[in-house]
Structure 1
Amino acid sequence: MTHFKMKALLTTSALVAVTAAVGTAASDPDGKYYKKLKKPDWNPPNAAFPIAWTTLYTDIALTTGLTLADLWEAGELTGTSKEAKRFLTALVANLALNGGWSWAFFRAQQPMLSAAWAGVLAASSADLTRRVSKVSKMRGIALVPYPAWTAFATALSCAVWKLND
């Protein structure tokens, strides 16, 4: 494994781990607030969420880590790391949105805010996937479940908001 790959994978893994910890700290699917909310019939069981997010977080860390490594390596060759900085900025913004959603939904208890937040996260996830695809089509394809899941989460958040408004 090259120096760039190891550094990038450690970086993205750490960022994703922090995101997971921040989101988990706010999540309370067994709490009174979540239990009393009306949810659509197509709401997944609570057990599905940790499985989905663990899989997605692993995917995000790997696909973005390898992409970041390629961008750092290309920057080393060209003498500029602008693309790597832009990519890392987009990743950090996406992960901040990701971790923050749980705070908007579970802690702030604001269905409308969390629905809007989810929509911004879905757009950011699609943009991140586009950025990964520009560097590697295969990695971009591998990351498609992330914007798909966040789009689903947006629809679910909107349904919860509507049912509880």
Structure 2
Amino acid sequence: MKRNKVLTYLLFLLLPLAVGGLAALVTYHGMPVYEQLEKPVFTPPSFLFPIVWNLLYVLMGIGAARVWLSQDPMRGQRLRPFVLQLILNFFWTVWFFGAGQYLLAFFWLLILLCVIGWMIAAFSKADPLAGRLQIPYLLWTGFAAVLNFSIFLLNL
């Protein structure tokens, strides 16, 4: 039984980290353009982003694993927003760094924020701690939306 639990955590940790790795490739290719953009004074230093995102991906994975391991008969349904937010998260990177579509990326983040809220609610029904673990993700994504919109405005 313990081996299954460890494998479950590994799987649910690897999934968001893999999505983050793919997003990092897109980001890397878009960095020369990003570095040339006007950015607001509250923009964090570039080295901070991968640290924060990896922490958030780990929290996502732990939360999803807790939901999967819960006794909730609807655990599969409760993981739907987890999968959807991973897809939305990845494609934000494509819109922002890959395509330079800053306004589209901003609206994409607003949708992502709603899905993260849905994920928090769904996770909380199966495992309250799993839901609370997603609050930093919600807050960081809210900050990212403000940053994204500010970059859009500064680079019209």
TM-score normalised according to structure 2 size: 0.89
Report the counterpart of residue 127 of structure 1 in structure 2.
118
Greater C-alpha radius of gyration: 1
Identical-residue share of aligned pairs (%): 26
CA distance in 2, matches of 1:137, 1:31: 38
**How far did 1:4 drift?**
5.9
- Counterpart mapping for 1:71-150 below 5 A: 73-75=71-73, 83-150=74-141
CA distance in 2, matches of 1:7, 1:74: 19
Report the counterpart of residue 48 of structure 1 in structure 2.
48
Report the counterpart of residue 159 of structure 1 in structure 2.
150
RMSD over equivalenced CA pairs, Å = 2.0
Structure 1 unaligned spans of 5+: 76-82
Q: Which moved more, 1:134-143 or 1:150-159?
A: 134-143
Q: Is the 8 A contact 1:29 1:35 kept in 2?
A: no
Runs (4 or more) in structure 1 with deviation over 6 Å come to none
Amino acid at match of 2:37: L
Q: Is the 8 A contact 1:28 1:34 kept in 2?
A: no
CA distance in 1, matches of 2:68, 2:50: 26
When residues 98 and 139 of structure 1 are mapped into structure 2, their CA distance, relative to the original with a 3 A threshold, is: same
Instruction: Confirm or deny that 1:27 pairs with 2:18.
Output: no
TM-score normalised according to structure 1 size: 0.85
SS of residue in 1 equivalent to 2:141: helix
Q: Is the 8 A contact 1:22 1:100 kept in 2?
A: no
**How far did 1:89 drift?**
2.1
Question: What is the count of residue pairs matched by the alignment?
Answer: 156
Structure 2 unaligned spans of 5+: none
Q: Is the 8 A contact 1:4 1:69 kept in 2?
A: no
